[in-house]
Structure 1
Amino acid sequence: MDDISAATTRAPDDRVLPYTVPALDIRGRVVRLGASLDDILGRHHYPEPVARVLAEAAALTVMLGSTLKGEGRFQLQTKSDGAIPMLVVDFNAPDSYRAMARYDAERLAQAMEAGTLSTGELLGSGHLAMTVDQGSETTRYQGIVALEGQSLEEAGHQYFRQSEQIPTRIRLGVGSVLSGGGLAWRAGGLIAQFMPTSPDRLRAADLSPGDAPEGHAILAAAADDNDGISDDAWAETRSLLGTIEHHELLDPTLDSERLLYRLFHERGAHVFEPLAVRDACRCSRERVMGMLKGFSQDDRQAMVADDGTLGVTCEFCSRRYDFSAAEVEAELSAQD
């Protein structure tokens, strides 16, 4: 663990930086996504509003999924009635993620013409699910948040109020910057969670001790500006996070350490070993074959092209897998 000083000069991308501010009883993470995110969005050629919303979801997912210990998967998925009816972002512990979106081109064009392009407006009404799956030896967990036109930041706040019951603030920023003569996508995010340990603060926050507090009054006070917590440290944290400018989460010359120093230098922030993250898909020829097994033989036959091949393109990485119809049926028969 290192103390943060004002002397930091590097600004590395595609990493997550854990931190704590002991004087305020908070812990959190800062994420910066650069080339990995630009590669994902570049493969799909999404319209700008779709790319922006998916980039927000990617930053949020990487920030939350990187807390997994060991192997496992954290997935964020939305299903809604807006111009972007589905987002899926997977974080595969310890260090890789992938992302995809589906959008309605006609409805998106209407939204662009009307100027209704906020994240909440593009997603519409539906739900957001966050799923933690750490293998067969652990219980799969899923938290669901209703989407009602709110931002992904607020949806994240609701997730922690309802599922984790930990006072949480999230800030997200997405945009593009000049890089190598062209524009490149970037995203940044910061999360802070109030984790009091002193008896006085535990009483003030109505929290139970430990890393995962249970059963406090935060649910009943969701609309309160301070999350229903009468603690000066949490009020100060929220106030400080409210000063973060959008560009500070994206600026390639402002690294995560310096951002934390700007926020918490009077209180003393400490950082831990950063985690480098990368863009990587989980698809494979074997997984695609397993997916095809889920279709009936008649459905598989309907997928066969005029040249006798059956092609499947991964929605995440755009990689195409081509099979002959005879090969598929022979392999699936051998698996039975």
Structure 2
Amino acid sequence: MSEVGNLGPRSVPPAGDDAVLPFEIEGLDVRGRVIQMGPALTSMLARHDYPLPVSKLLGEAIVLAVLLGSSLKIEGQFLLQTQTDGPVDMLVVDFRTPGRLRAYARFDAARVAEMASAGTLEPAALLGKGILGMTIDQGPHTSRYQGIVPLDGSSLEEVAHTYFAQSEQIPTRVRLAVAEMMTRDDGGAMAHSWRAGGLMVQFLPQSEERMRRRDLPGGDAPAHVDTDEGDEDDAWVEASSLVGTIEDHELIDPEVPAERLLYRLFHERGVRVFEASGVRDQCSCSRERIEGVLRSFSAEEITESIEDGAITVTCEFCGLRYVFDPAEFAA
């Protein structure tokens, strides 16, 4: 990771949209990443006919996956997936280094419309109860890692905090924001787009004793017993409190680039940024890969897959349709 420099009122050029900007604040023993998304997010959401609340929820999942997946040091895959009983029963975001993204949501249109009529379209209600899984796969020579946390009516921000507290035991604070935008194009017509932003900070001091938190209460202590988890490090309290002051509009406003936001938050402590890495909308599906899957089907499964004399497979992520002649799999 190449260092760019210390932020000041007139320092490094802005990373711009669709670029993850790593940073650190030495005075607080904090490292983090920040991103503002525009064209890549709009491209992924525009190809699906999602209701607006579903698009916004998937947008939050995309930003969260980018913040987490961009930490991979070598080539690999980060997969974020939810499985719940809510109207949006599945979100899938697939991040592959160096910055390839694809995502989709599965939802019950009737239940979403019913919630819209009742005015209960909060993201947590759309998700419902279930699980969120985060899978890291860094190739055949490494062990695949999967962390699972419950979804119990919490937002994706809150779930991320739970994940790091339980699985990684690293003090972490995440902020996410997504908004639909209407702008005028060069011809004066109104154009629809999406913007999103996210910031994640983690407390990573040199001393493990400073970073370590007490274990979470087991839940079996008598009611009169104090289960105090101990005082948090002052540096982390300061960093976390500063992140808590971020307004949603600051994360998505193109007039407030990521560098300006970081300077506003941490200029008194000094913030150093590193080289940004871009992300892009790019599906990993291919005709060859799908053909390989079909060749693993039995003759009965191939027959069941035929419709109107052909086998048609549509990618859930990018919407591309692949049409195969059943005769190719006759053997």
TM-score (norm 2): 0.90
Distance 2:88 2:64 in 1: 17
**1:236-274: per-residue Cα shift (whole Å, max 9, x none)?**
111101110000110011111111001001110000000
Please say which of residues 57-66 and 170-179 is displaced more in the overlay.
Answer: 170-179
Equivalent residue number for residue 169 of structure 2: 165
How far did residue 221 of structure 1 move?
Answer: 9.9
TM-score (norm 1): 0.89
CA contact (8 A) 1:218 1:229 kept: no
Equivalent residue number for residue 64 of structure 2: 60
Correspondent of 1:7 among 1, 5, 10? 10
**1:27-59: per-residue Cα shift (whole Å, max 9, x none)?**
000011110110010011211011000000000
Cα RMSD of the aligned pairs, angstroms, is: 1.9
Alignment of 1:223-302 (within 5 A): 228-302=230-304
Alignment of 1:1-336 (within 5 A): 1=3, 2-7=5-10, 10=14, 12-179=16-183, 180=185, 181-197=190-206, 199=207, 202-205=208-211, 207=212, 216-220=213-217, 228-306=230-308, 308-327=309-328, 329-330=329-330, 333=331
Partner of 1:128, secondary structure, is: strand
**1:64-105: per-residue Cα shift (whole Å, max 9, x none)?**
101111211000000000000000001001111110110001
**1:281-326: per-residue Cα shift (whole Å, max 9, x none)?**
11001111123245432232222122x1111100000011001111
**1:186-219: per-residue Cα shift (whole Å, max 9, x none)?**
111000000112x5xx5454x3xxxxxxxx4153
CA contact (8 A) 2:32 2:199 kept: yes
Distance 1:74 1:227 in 2: 31
Partner of 2:135, secondary structure, is: strand
One-letter code aligned to 2:249 = H
Distance 2:296 2:151 in 1: 30
Distance 1:168 1:227 in 2: 16
Distance 2:108 2:86 in 1: 8
CA contact (8 A) 1:17 1:272 kept: yes
**1:153-197: per-residue Cα shift (whole Å, max 9, x none)?**
011111111111100000000002234231211111000000112
One-letter code aligned to 2:101 = Y
Flag the 1:294–1:120 CA change in 2: closer, same or farther, 3 A: farther
Structure 1, unpaired ranges of 5+: 208-215
Partner of 1:44, secondary structure, is: coil
Distance 1:220 1:266 in 2: 36
CA contact (8 A) 2:18 2:39 kept: yes
One-letter code aligned to 2:280 = R
Flag the 1:309–1:227 CA change in 2: closer, same or farther, 3 A: farther
Q: Percent identity at matched positions?
A: 52
CA contact (8 A) 2:15 2:276 kept: no
Partner of 2:324, secondary structure, is: strand
How far did residue 119 of structure 1 move?
Answer: 1.4
CA contact (8 A) 2:173 2:200 kept: yes
**1:222-244: per-residue Cα shift (whole Å, max 9, x none)?**
9xxx9854311111111101110
Partner of 1:238, secondary structure, is: helix
CA contact (8 A) 1:165 1:219 kept: no
How far did residue 4 of structure 1 move?
Answer: 0.5
One-letter code aligned to 2:10 = A
Distance 1:79 1:70 in 2: 28
Structure 2, unpaired ranges of 5+: 220-227
Distance 1:316 1:195 in 2: 35
CA contact (8 A) 1:221 1:228 kept: no
Distance 2:17 2:104 in 1: 21
